[in-house]
Amino acid sequence: MRLTAGSFFPVARRHRLGALANGTGHLDKQHQISGGHLWKSEPNLPDPKVKLPLDLDNSQMQFLTTIPLSLQAVLLLIASNVFMIFAWYGHLKNLATAPWYVAALVSWGIALFEYLLQVPANRIGFQQAGFSVAQLKIVQEVITLAVFVPFAVIYLNQPLKLDYVWAGLCLIGAVYFIFRSA
């Protein structure tokens, strides 16, 4: 049994507690007074009739538990990189004529969303998926290049260069060396 703070009543309202008493003037087994409040004891399992919007047992959220932790980390890193690329380079197109400090403030605002995805990604990757810090860094660099090249070509209208391929091959080598002993 656990006590839930969501179901307490101030002791000052004892006149309303008559229905909770078992006829002897004492509270029944499902209610306790603690710290000046009446607490209702509930079993450890949630009530199946109560659906909380952010409850992980909710059927709409169950798919998250089926995604492997390493894939969760990588998907979050990809999403964070989209924000990072826009924060770092989007101002070159959108705010080209604005003062630099306006571009910096807008970039910081975009970067906040990058960090809201990147910090959980690194925590999941390091603490739960078992990546080393070096492995996370190399994965991050591969993702950065994979996100940057289409951004540069499509959004900033930069020419596609063979150098991107050579850089990608170097990163594949880095992935091999950092993961070969894992």
Exposed/middle/buried for residue 18 (C-beta within 10 Å: 0-12, 13-18, 19+): exposed
How far is Cα 126 from Cα 66, in angstroms, rounded to an integer? 19
pLDDT at 182: 73
Q: Let me know whether 33 and 73 are in one domain.
A: no
Q: Residue 20 is encoded by which pair of tokens?
A: 């909770």
Helix (H) and strand (E) counts in the chain: 6, 3
> Amino acid identity, residue 137?
K
Residue 126: DSSP 8-state: I
* In a domain? residue 131: yes
> Which residue type sits at 174?
A
87 within 8 A of 59, measured Cβ to Cβ: no
Q: What is the pLDDT of residue 111?
A: 95
Residues 71 and 25 in one domain: no
For the segment 17-63, what is each residue's pLDDT rounded down to a tens digit? 444 444 555 555 555 554 454 445 445 555 555 555 555 556 665 77
Task: Give the tens place of pLDDT for each residue, 78-137.
Answer: 999 999 999 999 999 999 999 999 999 999 999 999 999 999 999 999 999 999 999 999
Q: In which domain, by residue range, is 136 found?
A: 67-179
The count of domains in the chain is 2
- Reported as a single tens digit per residue, the pLDDT across 68-77 is 999 999 999 9
pTM of the shown model: 0.64
